[in-house]
Amino acid sequence: MTAGPAWRAARRAATTTLVTGPVRSGKSRHAEDLLWQSGSVTYVATGRRATPDDPEWSRRVADHRVRRPGSWSTVETADVAAVVDAATGPVLVDCLGTWLTALVDEAGWDDLVVAADLVRAAGERLVEALCAATVSVVVVTNEVGWSLVPTTASGRFFQDELGRLNARVASVAAQVNLVVAGRVLDLSSAPVVPTQPRPRTLDA
């Protein structure tokens, strides 16, 4: 794969909170709770739209809508950065995993090199928007390794790119919360795993 754009350090996104955790952990509900008293919130649904041919997905989307305050508005889009750029009030992005899937669907799963370039460019664009934001932004994501992913080239690609995207957003977020079984752990001050290998040393 090509390197894509440099995932360079940017100024910290002082208004951003990243909420991560396993599927069905309660992370989306926790993210909603963080903004519950914020009045008018823009909820960015990053995944596929509800369609009549998938009633189970339509029910999930409807359930999500019902539990959100009536003052919130929903935007269904893959251009998350544009929504953050234009926001005049708090934004909730749910979630990076479905966003990544939508981006790769657009690029095509048959050429993962092209898909990687698109995903990394979009990710860097999102990070820039988060760093420039003057409103509160809560970003939800699935933590890699805690969901069912096929053991195929595309499955490994998805895990690699989502892990990279999660780490990139976490690197600029002011707060990072892990949700497991409905319990919340603040990881904001936790040590960061080095992204570069440590130099080898000779045994004494």
Please name the residue that has the structure tokens 């690197």: 171
Q: Which two tokens stand for residue 142?
A: 């699935």
Task: Find out whether 157 and 116 touch, Cβ atoms under 8 Å.
Answer: yes
Task: Find out whether 172 and 127 touch, Cβ atoms under 8 Å.
Answer: yes
**What gap in Å lies between CA 176 and CA 120, rounded to an integer?**
21
Positions marked active-site: 64
Cα 185 to chain centroid, rounded: 18
Q: Which residues pair with 21 in a beta bridge?
A: 142
Task: Find out whether 178 and 21 touch, Cβ atoms under 8 Å.
Answer: yes
**What gap in Å lies between CA 138 and CA 152, rounded to an integer?**
31
**What gap in Å lies between CA 177 and CA 30, rounded to an integer?**
9
